[in-house]
A and B are shown apart, each in its own frame.
Chain A
Amino acid sequence: MEDLKEELKKQLIEQLNLEEISPADIDDDTLLFSDKGLGLDSIDALELIVLLEKYHGIQVTKPEEGKEVFRSINSMAEYICKRKS
């Protein structure tokens, strides 16, 4: 699980071109879409959907899940584990 979280942080930085941020700057529970966190926007949300499919082979088929799944690195890792189990 810890390896997956570190992997996700690197993938997120690459996919979203967050050039001023390093994996160490992102805590596992940092809010991805809050201004107090990474401050991502709606286009970034689409990129995260692409990220899950591209790197983890997971399609987000229920849009209502998105809000909770993309809350933080923790929630994304949990979702990936759940979908793969």
Chain B
Amino acid sequence: MKFITAYCHLRENICSVNGEIVSMRDNDSADSWFKQIYKEQEFAYPKFYKMDVLSQAGFLTSELIKRANPGLITDYNDDEVAMLFANRSSSAETDLKFIHSYQHNGAPSPSLFVYTLPNIVMGEIAILNKWYGENLFAVLPGFNPDFYMNHCSILLSADSEAVLCSWLEVTGYQIDAFTFLIEKKGEKSIEFTKDTLSELAELGGQQNKNYANY
């Protein structure tokens, strides 16, 4: 049996951890939405400011998962935590910014170029946490519980003891990030099944909608 021991939703207007909203977007703020969360949650990792939006979303949701479940850092060896990420648009948002940088700003930006691959977000998280486990980033037509079920099953039957999973779609003004932690142990947690994962995935959209109607 496997468990979903923590989960985090990051949408256009809300950020929630284990279903509890931890940040709501302030449309009057001069800061970007991701920067608002970074400051509000008092994170201290200056490299955040240099990351592209995909990596910022991955950073914020994975750090919030760690806060919700500190065992992720203390209970495992550095090669026992795997990462399994996916999205639909790859790194398109940063690809477009990179094109813009050399078409309109006179010179291509090296710091944008390094983010023109979607799996860089996992590199950022691995560097920060000094994780050396397995990692995979897939580009899929949409969120698919089977993808996570099947790959987690393979990873956890090999050398991984926990899997940090994420659906990480950030394009223009559309944000749909759902990061969750799968562990072999977690007695009071949610059992990891296709149905429970589908239900949790929909929660972020509902919370975001509620905020918009509020």
Contact = CB atoms under 8 A, between A and B. Distances in A.
Given A18-B49, A20-B46, A20-B49, A53 B111 contact: no
Interface in A1-40: 16-20
B107 interface: yes
Interface in A30-77: 43-44, 46-47, 50, 53-54
Query: Which applies to chain B's interface (DSSP): helix, strand, loop or mixed?
Result: loop
Interface in B88-108: 105-108
Nearest to B110: A46
Contact of B106 (A16, A46, A54): A54
B50 interface: yes
Contact of B107 (A16, A19, A54): A54
B139 interface: no
A43 B49 contact: no
B111 A16 contact: yes
Interface in B22-50: 46, 49-50
Contacts of B110: 43, 46-47, 50
B46 A47 contact: no
A61 B14 CA distance: 48
Contact of B109 (A18, A19, A47): A47
B114 interface: yes
Interface string B43-62: 00010011000000000000
Interface in B62-118: 105-111, 114
Nearest to B46: A20
Contacts of A20: 46, 49
A43 B114 contact: yes
A54 B108 CA distance: 10
Contact of A17 (B50, B106, B108): B50
Contacts of A19: 46, 49
A54 to B, nearest CB: 6
Query: Which 3 interchain pairs have the tightest Cβ spacing?
Result: A46-B110, A19-B49, A50-B107
Given A19-B49, A44-B111, 10 more contacts: A16-B111, A17-B50, A17-B111, A18-B49, A43-B110, A47-B109, A47-B111, A50-B107, A50-B108, A50-B109
